[in-house]
Amino acid sequence: MISNRVLLFQLSLLFLPCFFKFVSPFSHKTPRLTPFNKQAFMISRNPDKVSSAPTISKDFKTHFYTQTLDHFNYGSESYETFEQKYVVNSRYWGGADSGYPIFAYLGAEAPLDDDLGFIGFLTDNAPYFHPLLVYIEHRYYGDSRPFGSLKEVIRNETRRGYFNSAQALADYAQVLLHVKKQFSAHVSPIIVVGGSYGGMLASWFRLKYPHIALGALASSAPILYFDNITPQNGYYSIVTEDFKEASKTCYQAIRKSWSEIDEVASKPNGLSILSRRFNTCSKLKSSGELKDYLETIYTAAAQYNRPPNYPVTTVCGGIDGAPKGTDTLGRIYAGIVSYTGEMQCFDMNEFNVPDDTSAGWQWQTCSEMVMPIGRGEKDTMFQAAPFDLHQFIKECTNYYGVPPRPHWITTYYGGHDIKLSLNRFGSNIMFSNGLRDPYSSAGVLEDLSESVLAITTSNGSHCLDIYPSTDTDPDWLIMQRNIEVDIIQGWIQNYHKDRLSRF
Amino acid sequence: MISNRVLLFQLSLLFLPCFFKFVSPFSHKTPRLTPFNKQAFMISRNPDKVSSAPTISKDFKTHFYTQTLDHFNYGSESYETFEQKYVVNSRYWGGADSGYPIFAYLGAEAPLDDDLGFIGFLTDNAPYFHPLLVYIEHRYYGDSRPFGSLKEVIRNETRRGYFNSAQALADYAQVLLHVKKQFSAHVSPIIVVGGSYGGMLASWFRLKYPHIALGALASSAPILYFDNITPQNGYYSIVTEDFKEASKTCYQAIRKSWSEIDEVASKPNGLSILSRRFNTCSKLKSSGELKDYLETIYTAAAQYNRPPNYPVTTVCGGIDGAPKGTDTLGRIYAGIVSYTGEMQCFDMNEFNVPDDTSAGWQWQTCSEMVMPIGRGEKDTMFQAAPFDLHQFIKECTNYYGVPPRPHWITTYYGGHDIKLSLNRFGSNIMFSNGLRDPYSSAGVLEDLSESVLAITTSNGSHCLDIYPSTDTDPDWLIMQRNIEVDIIQGWIQNYHKDRLSRF
């Protein structure tokens, strides 16, 4: 049985977004994290790229669109509106008359501003496509809040009701039509781009609004992690594979560490011993606290296991590189230190600080985005933590007062037998996945038709293709992005050919 | 300026459903109408067909599904449910194991029971396809009412809010998945069929839920009568063409009758004269009352201008066949009599009796289904009655307290540049239109792609192809239905080929 705390922790943990930036939300609370971030999570260690963010921002103009609160209801209350943030960068825009495209980033479960500088795919390819760049914030996140603070809204049984993916897609439709009008861009095709949850939204947007988006690049979108299409343990199996591939001894050390932690914890003063050995900032209250922390490190390392540093290799370097004779717990600690850099102490609650974004995403997972991610006995390098739908429904219902709708996503968007559904329907979607990303277990990994395509890279990580390019990008990554660019180019060419052939 | 009365009358009039059965809703009020219906509007004058309705009903089993009130909201109130009616006929069902199809009729703006016996396409082709037949009632109509009487609900600003097409499509998705489960019909492809508004729903359902419906037959679906895609006067232009084609003198008589009616009306005792000449049951209150009545007759005759009787020919037979020397008004009266048969008197409010269905449809048109249907000066055989969106919004807002959303249908479903949108997206939709049907002006009349097809017949009328076949069906109608059957057969074959090729 998973405790409520663990469950909710998992919920907010397990959908790490494309751009996992501990530094900005947490830096004021945990300044010690800075080196940790710099080493493992910053988009790029190239100082030019990091410092270029302020330069970029000059071209990004923020707007607000008066958005319909409820697109699917005509009750008087649903006529309320809110101000939705979107950002336009017209620096590269080739102009409406020639039908230059619009590239639209569909925001996910984060404030838009946090992501702006990191959607490299849009700006990096802008000199080639001359697109208008549009970035739209997801309702309820960041500054696009229908009602005050997100945390308060989540507590309100009525107000949080409008916070879901179908409404978000309809928002994007409205904003994009508005932007097209504003820029007289009637003949400009729109390509939508998103990553992770935003990647799901991008692919679904193309499916639901093909008259608005010509095509979609859905990076690391685990659209098959619903309704048991994908085996529960898909996510953790890949985390496990990543570690096993990096080093078999590292994998074995992690695998046996959990029972050793439990064993020490069960001794008299066991938690004190563990606290000392892992240099925790405050004394552990349970072994679970430490295990959750370690699990977070491992899953994040695997999900963002990207060049040039490959965090999994870094962790394993610590574990394997510990002096001969170091015991398992000592190796585990060495792995953490290798990953984060030396710290005065380790804060076990570092990843657990509730913020608006995690509160929002937790609501989304407890209402419609029910992803049954779990693991069984000995089928991964972790201890068992099966996902129990019945229990999940109970806990969400206790917490929010209303039950989740675990079958809604597949009802509205599909997913079962996806190749059978889409091999003769739909077009112009790219599902890109790095196979080292645990979420790729629920991604579309084979072409569904001639133009609903899977682009995979063996060594890629979560959302890697849409990150800004850097001087250290490996060839396979450069090639992947080139393929994506070529395909989008083909969509646009076909579109204009079709359009002009009608006159 | 169109008065509110006229406007709302137009609203409820102008979307005559597939099966226009004056006899059932009105018979107790206006028994005189019986011959009128029998002659002009009954599905078939073949007595066998008419009497076969009770035989059919034995095979039709009524069920209720506990439906989610609001699919797009997770507020506590939207968790309410209602009982949605659906009917299953398994008499022809070939069984789930062999993947025999499911044919689903998507209900429109009418109680389902009224339509059951009239969806000939499903039962007529059942011996060939061995399908499970499913008929689903549209929310808020008939017995599928979330809250008490429809008229009361329409007055309630909150409760009527859930009454819209997107919610209705989601209902159909849920019911169909439920039926598939109940019948273990996991490998049975679903073909959805609908006519008129129901035809729109069928085509939109295939576009929005391709993972649930393999294909759609959308009969007489004017999906392009939104947002000025189609010229306002498309509808009345075809009514005019129908009359002109039947008889030029008839058309001319109608065309000049309006000003003559106005002229008589403006005389002293003019309304008494008109009342006498048109044998009205009670004295006319305005010439508009008479003109609305005549307009209804003409538009209905044109919309349901079907074999073997062709009501337009019947009306024109009366007009042209009046004794030599009969003046225009006399000819017009003769046309009415020819159409309806001899009556003791004519009730000008006959088509104006508000019932649940028209109250429901009026709400739908005043919220999202905003079809700008009008006509200008001298561009049809009618007097000018332009559609003024500004005025329309004002009147709907006055009436309901909330404004319509006239751009929502094209935002959610598309419509502009439909060929450009769909020629490389989507599949397996047939748009069938009879070109004598005034609504065909806003139908899809050319193939959009290799499998999004237009099936037109020069002489067809509203929804004619999905009516029950009769012994008097002309060859072109038989041929049209055969083509539709062949195409559906092709969809199903491809589906099973694709499905089996994956094992």
User: Of B307, B288, B120, B285, whose CA–CA distance to B195 is shortest?
Assistant: B120
Question: Does the CB of B416 have a partner CB in chain A at under 8 Å?
Answer: yes
Which of A70, A73, A77, A212 to mutate to test binding with chain B, by most B CBs within 10 Å of its CB?
A73
> According to the model, what pLDDT value does residue B21 have?
44
3-state SS, B417-476, equals: EHHHHHCCCCCCEEEEEECCCHHHHHCCCCCCCCCEEEEEECCCCCCHHHCCCCCCCCHH
Judging by beta carbons within 10 Å of its beta carbon (0-12, 13-18, 19+), is residue A454 exposed, middle or buried?
middle
Stretch among A296-305, A360-369, B18-27, B363-372 having the lowest mean pLDDT: B18-27
Pick the CATH number of B5-42+236-352 from 1.20.120.980, 3.30.1490.20, 3.40.50.170, 3.90.700.10: 1.20.120.980
Note whether A90 contacts B: Cβ–Cβ < 8 A. Answer: no
Q: What per-residue confidence (pLDDT) applies to A38?
A: 26
Residue of A69, A71, A72 to mutate, testing the B interface (most B Cβ within 10 Å of its Cβ): A72
Catalytic residue among A196, A247, A432, A441: A196
CATH of domain A59-227+423-500: 3.40.50.1820
**Higher per-residue pLDDT: B109 or A38:** B109
C-alpha distances out from residue A190 to A200, A398, A483, A489, Å:
17, 42, 19, 12
d(CA B296, CA B33): 15
Disruptive mutation site among B65, B68, B69, B74 for chain A (greatest number of A CBs within 10 Å): B74
Query: Which range has the worst mean pLDDT, A29-38, A196-205, B131-140, B225-234?
Result: A29-38
pLDDT at B23 over 90: no
Helices (H), A267-286: 270-277
Q: Is A437 a catalytic residue?
A: yes
Identity at B109, one-letter amino acid code? E
Chain B residues touching residue A157 (CB < 8 angstroms):
75-76
Q: Nearest-CA neighbor of B74 among A30, A90, A166, A457?
A: A166
What is the average per-residue pLDDT within B389-409?
A: 95
From the list A138, A257, A338, A462, the catalytic residue is A462
Number of neighbours of residue B197 by Cβ within 10 angstroms: 27
Within 10 Å of residue B304's Cβ, how many Cβ atoms? 24
pLDDT tens, residue by residue, B153-195: 888 888 999 999 999 999 999 999 999 999 999 999 999 999 9
Whether residue B139 lies within 8 A of chain A, CB to CB, comes out as: no
The confidence score (pLDDT) of residue B20 equals 58
| CA dist., res. B318 & res. B246, Å (int) | 12
In this predicted structure, the answer to whether residue B32 has a pLDDT above a threshold of 50 is: no
Task: Assess A426–B contact: CB distance below 8 Å, yes or no.
Answer: yes
pLDDT at B114: 85
* DSSP per-residue string spanning B313-373: HHHHHHHHHSPTT--HHHHHHHHHHHHH---S-B-TTGGG---HHHHHHHHHHHHT-----
Q: Under 8 Å CB-to-CB from A182, ≥6 apart: which residues?
A: none
Among A364-373, A398-407, B42-51, B359-368, the minimum mean pLDDT is found in B42-51
> Using the 8-state DSSP alphabet, how is residue A158 labeled?
T
Average pLDDT of the residues in B21-39: 26
Own/partner pairs, A21-28, CB within 8 angstroms, 24+ separation = A21/A114, A22/A350, A22/A351, A24/A114, A25/A353, A25/A355, A25/A357, A26/A350, A26/A353
Instruction: List the structure tokens of A367.
Output: 């209402």
Contact A75 B158 (CB under 8 A): yes
Which residues in B92-108 are b (16+ Cβ under 10 Å) and which e?
A: bbeebeebbbbbbbbbb
Given an 8 Å threshold on Cβ–Cβ distance, is A416 in contact with B211? yes
Within 8 A of A170 by CB-CB distance, chain B residues are 411-412
How many inter-chain contacts (A to B, CB under 8 Å) are there? 163
CA distance, residue A115 to nearest chain B CA (Å)? 27
Average pLDDT, chain B: 89
Calculate the alpha carbon distances from A46 to A123, A465, A473 in Å.
17, 17, 11
Closest CA to A237 of A87, A93, A376, A80: A376
pLDDT of B453 strictly over 80: yes
Residue-level pLDDT at B15: 52
Please confirm whether the linkage preceding B468 is cis (ω < 30° from 0): no
| pLDDT for A77 | 76
Tokens representing A495 are: 């579109």
Q: CA A308 to CA A494: how far, in whole Å?
A: 37
Instruction: Give the model's confidence band at B24: pLDDT under 50 very low, under 70 low, under 90 confident, else very high.
Output: very low
What integer pLDDT is reported at residue A28 of this predicted model?
25
Whether B411 sits inside 8 A of A498 (CB atoms) is: no
User: Under an 8 A CB cutoff, do A428 and B426 touch?
Assistant: no
Interface touch B76/A424, C-beta < 8 Å: no
Phi-psi region of A401 (alpha: psi -120 to 50; beta: other; left: phi over 0): left
CB contact under 8 A, A420 and B167: no
Q: What is the pLDDT of residue A352?
A: 75
Q: How many CB atoms lie within 10 A of CB B28?
A: 7
Q: Which of residues 211-230 of B touch A (CB under 8 A)?
A: 211-212
Tokens of residue B323, six digits:
């004794």
pTM of the model: 0.92
* pLDDT for res A294: 96
Of residues A167, A423, A502, nearest to B72 (C-beta) = A167
Task: Name the β-bridge partners of B216.
Answer: B192, B429
The question of whether A462 is a catalytic residue gets the answer yes
> What are the structural domain ranges in chain B?
5-42+236-352, 60-227+410-501
Beta bridge partners of B133: B89, B103
pLDDT tens for residues B481-497?
Answer: 999 999 999 999 999 99
Tell if the CB–CB gap between A72 and B71 is shorter than 8 Å: yes
pLDDT (tens digit, 0 to 9) for every residue of chain A, 503 residues total?
A: 333 334 444 444 455 577 654 332 222 222 221 222 222 333 222 223 333 343 457 899 999 999 999 999 998 777 899 999 999 999 999 998 889 999 999 999 999 998 898 899 999 999 999 999 999 999 999 999 998 888 888 988 889 999 999 999 999 999 999 999 999 999 999 999 999 999 999 999 999 999 999 999 999 999 999 999 999 999 999 999 999 999 999 999 999 999 999 999 999 999 999 999 999 999 999 999 999 999 999 999 999 999 999 999 999 999 999 999 999 999 999 999 999 998 999 999 888 777 888 889 999 999 999 999 999 999 999 999 999 999 999 999 999 999 999 999 999 999 999 999 999 999 999 999 999 999 999 999 999 999 999 999 999 999 999 999 999 999 999 999 999 999 999 999 999 999 999 75
Contacts of B268 (CB under 8 A, 6+ apart): none
How far separated are the first and last CA of chain A, in Å rounded? 65
The contacts found for B318-323 with CB under 8 angstroms, 24 or more apart, are B319/B247, B319/B249, B319/B250, B319/B253, B319/B254, B320/B247, B320/B249, B320/B250
Distance, in Å, from the CA atom of A160 to the CA atom of B79, rounded to the nearest integer, reads 13
Say whether pLDDT at B3 is over 60: no
Chain center to CA of B87: 20
Q: Is the dihedral of CA B110, B116, B117, B121 positive or negative?
A: positive
Confidence band of B503 (pLDDT split at 50, 70, 90) = low
Ordered DSSP codes for A327-393: -HHHHHHHHHHHHH---S-B-TTGGG---HHHHHHHHHHHHT------B-TTSSSSPPB---HHHHH
Q: How many other C-beta atoms can be found within 10 angstroms of the C-beta atom of residue B384?
A: 13
- Is the per-residue pLDDT at B265 higher than 60? yes
Distance from CA of A475 to the nearest CA of B (A): 33
B408 vs A30 pLDDT, higher one:
B408
pLDDT band at B78 (very low <50, low <70, confident <90, very high): confident
A178 in reach of chain B (CB within 8 A) = no
- Out of 1.10.357.10, 3.30.360.10, 1.20.120.980, 1.20.1080.10, the CATH code matching A4-42+233-352 is 1.20.120.980
A328-340 and A248-266 helices, crossing angle to 10°: 110
Is the pLDDT confidence value at B11 over 90?
no
Other beta carbons less than 10 A from residue B268's beta carbon: 7
Distance between CA B192 and CA B180 in Å, rounded? 14
CB A40 within 8 A of CB A33: no
Tell me the sheet residues that pair with B195.
B219
Torsion sign over Cα B19, B218, B293, B113: positive
Say yes or no for a CB contact (<8 Å) between A424 and B420. no
Most distant CA pair in chain B: distance in Å? Answer: 84
Structure tokens at B394: 């004002």
Spatial strand order in the sheet of B429-434: B60-68, B81-89, B132-136, B102-106, B190-195, B215-219, B429-434, B452-457
Q: Is the pLDDT of residue B91 over 80?
A: yes
DSSP 8-state assignment for residue A425: S
Residues B418-452: tens digit of each pLDDT: 999 999 999 999 999 999 999 999 999 999 999 99
Select the CATH number that applies to the domain covering B60-227+410-501 from these four: 3.40.50.1820, 1.10.150.50, 3.40.50.720, 3.10.20.30: 3.40.50.1820
> Do the Cβ atoms of A424 and B167 come within 8 Å?
no
pLDDT value at position A503? 56
Q: Distance from first CA to last CA of chain B, Å, rounded?
A: 65
- Give the pLDDT of residue B16: 58
Work out the minimum CA distance from B86 to partner chain A, whole angstroms.
19
Q: Phi/psi at A409 (nearest 5 deg)?
A: -60, -45
**Eight-class DSSP state of B150:** H
CB-nearest to B208 from A73, A208, A428 is: A208
Residues of B taking part in catalysis: 196, 437, 462
pLDDT recorded at residue B19 = 67
A424 touching B, CB under 8 A? Answer: yes
Cα distance between residue A439 and residue A243, in whole Å: 15
- Does B32 contact chain A (CB < 8 Å)? no
DSSP state of B162: G
Residue A16: the pLDDT is: 58
